[in-house]
C-alpha cells in the first residue's frame, strides 16, 4: 500500500484492493441485505449480542452470577463437527490422502457456488478481520471470515484477535499481507416477511478446505468447529499444509507451563483427541506438593524451531471453547474460575430457572431446568439436561493461571510432547518413547474411543494419529513423513521427548484405574524426572514405563495392585493391537515412511511375533 492510500474509517470497508474485491464478489453472490465490518469495539459487542437476544438465539444470563454471559441452544441437528461433510479439496486427490474426504476443487466450487447464491438474503453479511497468533508476530497469520451469523461473530470475537487493529495491519502490509479468506454461510436465507428461527442452519453441510489456495468455504452449520473458521479449518487444516511447506508443526495440542518445587520451568505440549482431556490437563491443579501449572493453550499449538534449535510453541487462539459436561470445581477449578468472570457464551447446556447454567457433572444440581432441547428437565428426567458436546466459549485472558508467556509471540520452548487417547484397555498410564522416530510411531498409531465432539457413534476405537485425524489438511502418510523430517533436521538433544499417556484405562468392573484430573500431575512429574534422568523405568516392548516405585503415588487412595494395573504392559493385548496397526498402515501405501514400518516390525519382534 502506498502511504497516500486513504484508510477507510473503522467498520466501513477496506483500502486493501484484493480484500475489497473478494468481499464485493461474495456479497454479489450471496446477496445479503447489508455488509458490516467487524471492528472489535465494546459498542459492537453490545449491538451484536442485543441482536442475538432479540432473535431468541441468546438468552442473557443472570448478571449477578454470570456477568456479560449468554445462553444459546442450537438446532438439535447442529451440535458437533461433521467429519463426513468435511473435505480437503486438493488439486490432486493423492494429496488429500486416505483419511480425508476429497472432491476436485472445481466440482466442489460449482456445487457450493450454487448453494451460496442468495444464501445471505435477508441477513447481514459480516466481515471479520482476524489474526491467529499475535498481531506482532514476525509473520502475522491473518484471516478474514465472512459470515451471515451473529452467533459466529460473537464467538469469533472471543476465540480470535479480531477487528480494526487487524485490518489496519493488513492494509499497511498491502500485497504482502497473506490472509486466509474464509467464507461461512448458514444457508438460511430469509424471504421478505419470513420469520427467523433462533438457530438458523441448513441440513446440507459442507466444511471445505482448498489447501493450495489456502481458502476455506463452510456452509450449513453454525456449530463451533464447523463455523468458527479460524479454529480447526485454518489453525489446523490449512496451517498443517503451511507447516509442511515451511518446516514447522500445526498441532491439536494444549500447551502448559510446569514449575517444579525447585522453581525449574518446563513447557509441555499434549495432543489428545477431541473431548479427551486437553482443557483439563492445560488447567491442572497439581495434587503433589510444590508443583505448579500455568496455562498457555488448551487446543492448538503451532511449533517452530527457534534460533537456539529448540522447538517453540504458541497458542494461536484467544479464547477457550471447552466441553462443559464433567467440568466442575473438583475436575477443573480453573475453568470454573475463568467462567465465573463472565463474558462467556454457553451452548447446548441446560438453562436454570434463575438464569444460570447447569450441565451433567456440575455441582448444585437444580430441581428444575430447561434442557438444551428446550424441554422441562428435573433430576428424574430420562434425558440428559445438556448435550454431551455442549460447550462454553470464554476469553483465555480470564484464566487465573494464564502464563505471562501467552503474550510472547516467540512462544515457549517445549521439553515434552504427550500423545494420549481414551482406551479402556491395553495402553498404560504413561510410556516414554526411545527417540523421536519411535515417538512419531506412537503418535501415528494413537488410538482412541470416539466422543460426542463429532457427529457419529461414540465409544468406537479408531486410529487418531497425533489426535489430528479430522484435522490433517493433506495426506496423513506425508504428514507422518513431515514429523520424521522435523526430527531428522533437528539436534536430537534439543528435541522434546515424546510420551504416550492414557488416563482412561479401566478395571474389570469398568471403573477408571487412574483417578485422573489433578492427579495427572504425578505423571507430569515422572515425565520431567525422566527428562532430568532422575526417574526409573522398565523397558517393555512398547517403550519405557515407570517402575511402580518411580511414580509418586503418595497420598493416593490406590492399592499397589491398582497402580500396577494402570502401568501394566500386557503382551497379549498388544499382540491383538498389531493387526489393527497393520491395517491402518496399509491404507497409506507408498506414502507411509519406511521408518514407521521399521518401528512396527521392531515392535512385533519384541512381542515375539
Ligand X SMILES: O=C([O-])CC(=O)C(=O)O
Ligand Y SMILES: Nc1nc2c(ncn2[C@@H]2O[C@H](COP(=O)(O)OP(=O)(O)OP(=O)(O)O)[C@@H](O)[C@H]2O)c(=O)[nH]1
Residues that bind ligand X (CB under 6 A): 81, 224-225, 231-232, 274, 299, 321, 453
Residue closer to ligand Y (CB basis): 162 or 236: 236
Q: Quote the DSSP letter at residue 173.
A: H
**Smallest distance, Mn ion to C-beta of residue 302, A:** 14
Asked if residue 232 binds ligand Y (CB under 6 A), the reply is no
Q: Is 280 in the site for ligand Y (CB under 6 A)?
A: yes
Span from 107-115, 120-128, 172-180, 317-325 in contact with ligand Y (CB under 6 A): 317-325
> Contact region for Mn ion (CB under 5 A) — 28-36, 269-277, 417-425, 464-472?
269-277
Q: What is the rounded distance in angstroms from the CA atom of residue 601 to the CA atom of residue 205?
A: 42
Residue 93 CB, nearest approach to ligand Y (Å) = 28
Among the listed residues 303, 315, 324, the one whose alpha carbon sits nearest the alpha carbon of residue 389: 324
Q: Which of 134, 184, 257, 278 binds ligand Y (CB under 6 A)?
A: 278
The pair phi, psi for residue 346, each rounded to 5°, is -110, 130
Q: Which is nearer to ligand X, 61 or 468 (CB)?
A: 468
For residue 255, give every residue at least 6 positions away whose Cβ sits within 8 Å of its Cβ, in sequence order, or none.
267, 268, 269, 282, 295, 296, 297, 301, 313, 314, 315, 412, 414
Give the Cα separation of 489 and 266 in Å (integer).
23
Q: How far apart are CA 344 and CA 157, in angstroms?
A: 11
Report the site for ligand Y in 512-571 (rule: CB under 6 A): 512, 516-517, 520
The least CB distance from residue 606 to ligand Y, in Å, is 29
Between 138 and 177, how does the x/- string for binding to ligand Y read (CB under 6 A)? ----------------------------------------
Give the list of residues 6+ apart from residue 3 with CB closer than 8 angstroms, or none: none
Among 241, 253, 323, 495, contact with ligand Y (rule: CB under 6 A): 323
The minimum distance between CB 377 and Mn ion, in angstroms, equals 27
Which residues on neighbouring strands pair with residue 322, listed in sequence order?
392
Q: Is 294 annotated as a binding residue?
A: no
Active site residue 162: no
Give SS3 for 371: coil
Which CB, 95 or 299, lies closer to Mn ion? 299
Piece of 321-329, 458-466, 478-486, 543-551 that binds ligand Y (CB under 6 A): 321-329
User: Is residue 546 within 8 Å of residue 535, measured between CB atoms?
Assistant: yes
The torsion angles phi and psi of 223, rounded to 5 degrees, stand at: -70, 145
CB 242 within 8 A of CB 250: yes
- Cβ-based nearer residue to ligand X, 314 or 323: 323
CB-based contact 563:553 (threshold 8 Å): yes
DSSP letter assigned to residue 514: S
Please give the residues from 432 up to 491 whose contact with ligand Y meets the rule CB under 6 A: 453
The answer to whether the annotation marks 176 as part of a ligand binding site is: no
Among 143, 187, 220, 322, binds ligand Y (CB under 6 A): 322
Please state, in angstroms and rounded to a whole number, the distance separating the CA atoms of residues 556 and 521. 12
Which of 44, 4, 13, 226 shows the shortest CA–CA distance to 129? 13
Q: Which stretch binds Mn ion (CB under 5 A): 91-99, 139-147, 268-276, 526-534?
A: 268-276
| Partner whose binding site includes residue 81, from ligand X, ligand Y, Mn ion, none (CB under 5 to 8 Å by kind) | ligand X
Catalytic residue among 89, 233, 276, 399: 276
From CA 342, how far away is CA 65, in angstroms rounded? 8
Within 10 Å of residue 340's Cβ, how many Cβ atoms? 15
Contacts of 324 (CB under 8 A, 6+ apart): 346, 348, 349, 357, 359, 362, 386, 390, 391, 392
Distance of CA 599 to the CA centre of its chain: 29
Three-state secondary-structure class, residue 590:
helix
Show the cell assigned to 202. Answer: 441448513
16 annotated ligand-binding residue = no
Q: Does 577 bind ligand Y (CB under 6 A)?
A: no
Question: In angstroms, what is the minimal distance from the CB of 160 to ligand X?
Answer: 13
Nearer to ligand Y, 169 or 506 (CB): 506
DSSP bridge partners of 319 = 395
Q: Which is nearer to ligand Y, 164 or 334 (CB)?
A: 334
Instruction: Work out which of 39, 221, 274, 386 binds ligand Y, going by CB under 6 A.
Output: 274
Q: Are 59 and 351 in contact (CB under 8 A)?
A: yes
Neighbours of 179 (CB within 10 A): 22
Q: Residues 291, 339: contact at Cβ < 8 Å?
A: no
Among 504, 526, 574, 585, binds ligand Y (CB under 6 A): 504
CB-nearer residue toward ligand X: 298 or 432: 298
Question: Based on CB atoms, which residue is closest to ligand Y, 272 or 588?
Answer: 272
| Residues near 223 by beta carbon (within 8 Å), at least 6 away in sequence | 74, 78, 79, 80, 81
User: Considering the complex, what minimum distance in angstroms separates the CB of residue 486 from ligand X?
Assistant: 23
Chosen residue from 294, 299, 405, 577 binding Mn ion by CB under 5 A: 299
Which residues form the interface with ligand Y (CB under 6 A)?
Answer: 272, 274-280, 298-299, 322-323, 325-326, 331, 453, 503-504, 512, 516-517, 520
Annotated binding site: 81, 223-225, 232, 252, 274-280, 299, 389-391, 422, 517-520
Q: What amino acid positions are annotated as catalytic residues? A: 276
Annotated binding site for GTP: 275-280, 391, 422, 517-520
Amino acid at each position: 500500500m502506498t502511504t497516500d492510500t486513504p484508510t477507510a474509517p473503522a467498520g466501513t470497508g477496506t483500502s486493501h484492493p484484493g480484500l475489497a474485491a473478494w468481499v464485493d464478489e461474495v456479497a454479489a453472490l450471496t446477496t445479503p441485505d447489508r455488509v458490516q465490518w467487524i471492528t472489535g469495539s465494546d459498542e459492537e459487542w453490545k449491538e451484536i449480542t442485543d441482536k442475538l437476544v432479540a432473535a431468541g438465539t441468546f438468552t442473557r444470563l443472570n448478571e449477578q452470577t454470570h456477568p456479560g454471559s449468554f445462553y444459546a441452544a442450537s438446532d438439535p441437528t447442529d451440535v458437533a463437527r461433521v467429519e463426513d461433510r468435511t473435505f480437503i479439496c486438493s488439486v490432486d486427490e493423492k494429496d488429500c490422502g486416505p483419511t480425508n474426504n476429497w472432491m476436485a476443487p472445481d466440482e466442489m466450487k460449482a456445487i457450493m457456488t450454487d448453494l451460496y447464491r442468495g444464501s445471505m438474503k435477508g441477513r447481514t453479511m459480516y466481515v471479520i478481520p482476524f489474526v491467529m497468533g499475535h498481531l506482532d508476530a514476525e509473520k502475522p497469520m491473518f484471516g478474514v471470515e465472512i459470515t451471515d451469523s451473529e452467533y459466529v461473530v460473537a464467538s469469533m470475537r472471543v476465540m480470535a484477535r479480531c477487528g480494526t487493529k487487524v485490518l489496519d495491519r493488513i492494509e499497511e502490509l498491502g500485497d504482502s499481507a497473506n490472509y486466509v479468506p474464509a467464507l461461512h454461510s448458514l444457508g438460511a436465507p430469509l424471504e421478505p416477511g419470513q420469520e427467523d428461527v433462533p438457530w438458523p442452519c441448513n441440513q446440507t453441510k459442507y466444511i471445505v478446505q482448498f489447501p493450495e489456495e489456502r481458502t476455506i468455504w463452510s456452509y450449513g452449520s453454525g456449530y463451533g468447529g464447523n463455523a468458527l473458521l479460524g479454529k480447526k479449518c485454518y489453525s489446523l487444516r490449512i496451517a498443517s499444509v503451511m507447516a509442511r511447506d515451511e518446516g514447522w508443526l500445526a498441532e491439536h495440542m494444549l500447551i502448559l507451563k510446569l514449575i517444579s518445587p525447585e522453581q525449574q520451568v518446563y513447557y509441555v505440549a499434549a495432543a489428545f483427541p477431541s473431548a479427551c482431556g486437553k482443557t483439563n490437563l492445560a488447567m491442572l491443579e497439581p495434587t503433589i506438593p510444590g508443583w505448579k501449572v500455568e496455562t498457555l493453550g488448551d487446543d492448538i499449538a503451532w511449533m517452530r524451531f527457534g534460533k537456539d534449535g529448540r522447538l517453540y510453541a504458541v497458542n494461536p487462539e484467544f479464547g477457550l471453547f471447552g466441553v462443559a459436561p464433567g467440568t466442575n470445581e473438583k475436575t477443573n477449578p480453573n475453568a470454573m474460575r475463568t467462567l465465573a468472570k463472565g463474558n462467556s457464551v454457553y451452548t447446548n447446556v441446560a438453562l436454570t430457572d434463575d438464569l444460570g447454567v447447569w450441565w451433567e457433572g456440575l455441582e448444585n444440581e437444580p430441581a428444575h431446568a430447561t434442557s438444551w432441547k428446550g424441554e422441562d428437565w428435573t433430576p428424574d428426567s430420562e434425558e440428559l439436561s445438556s448435550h454431551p458436546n455442549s460447550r462454553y466459549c470464554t476469553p483465555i485472558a480470564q484464566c487465573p493461571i494464564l502464563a505471562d508467556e501467552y503474550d510472547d509471540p516467540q512462544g515457549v520452548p517445549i521439553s515434552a510432547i504427550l500423545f494420549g487417547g481414551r482406551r479402556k484397555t491395553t495402553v498404560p498410564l504413561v510410556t516414554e518413547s526411545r527417540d523421536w522416530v519411535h515417538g512419531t510411531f506412537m503418535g501415528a498409531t494413537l488410538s482412541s474411543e470416539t466422543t460426542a465432539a463429532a457427529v457419529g457413534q461414540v465409544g468406537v476405537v479408531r486410529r487418531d494419529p497425533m489426535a489430528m485425524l479430522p484435522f490433517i489438511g493433506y495426506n496423513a502418510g506425508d504428514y507422518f513423513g513431515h514429523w520424521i523430517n522435523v526430527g531428522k533436521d533437528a539436534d536430537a538433544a534439543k528435541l522434546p521427548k515424546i510420551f504416550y499417556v492414557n488416563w482412561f484405562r479401566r478395571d474389570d468392573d469398568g471403573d477408571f484405574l487412574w483417578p485422573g484430573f489433578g492427579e495427572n500431575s504425578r505423571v507430569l512429574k515422572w515425565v520431567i524426572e525422566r527428562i532430568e534422568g532422575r526417574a526409573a523405568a522398565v523397558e517393555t516392548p512398547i517403550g519405557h514405563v515407570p517402575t511402580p516405585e518411580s511414580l509418586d503415588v503418595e497420598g493416593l487412595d490406590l492399592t499397589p495392585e491398582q497402580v500396577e494395573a494402570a502401568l501394566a504392559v500386557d503382551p497379549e493385548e498388544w499382540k491383538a493391537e498389531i493387526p489393527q496397526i497393520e491395517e491402518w498402515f496399509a491404507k497409506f501405501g507408498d506414502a507411509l515412511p519406511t521408518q514407521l514400518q521399521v518401528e512396527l516390525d521392531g515392535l512385533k519382534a519384541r512381542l515375539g511375533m
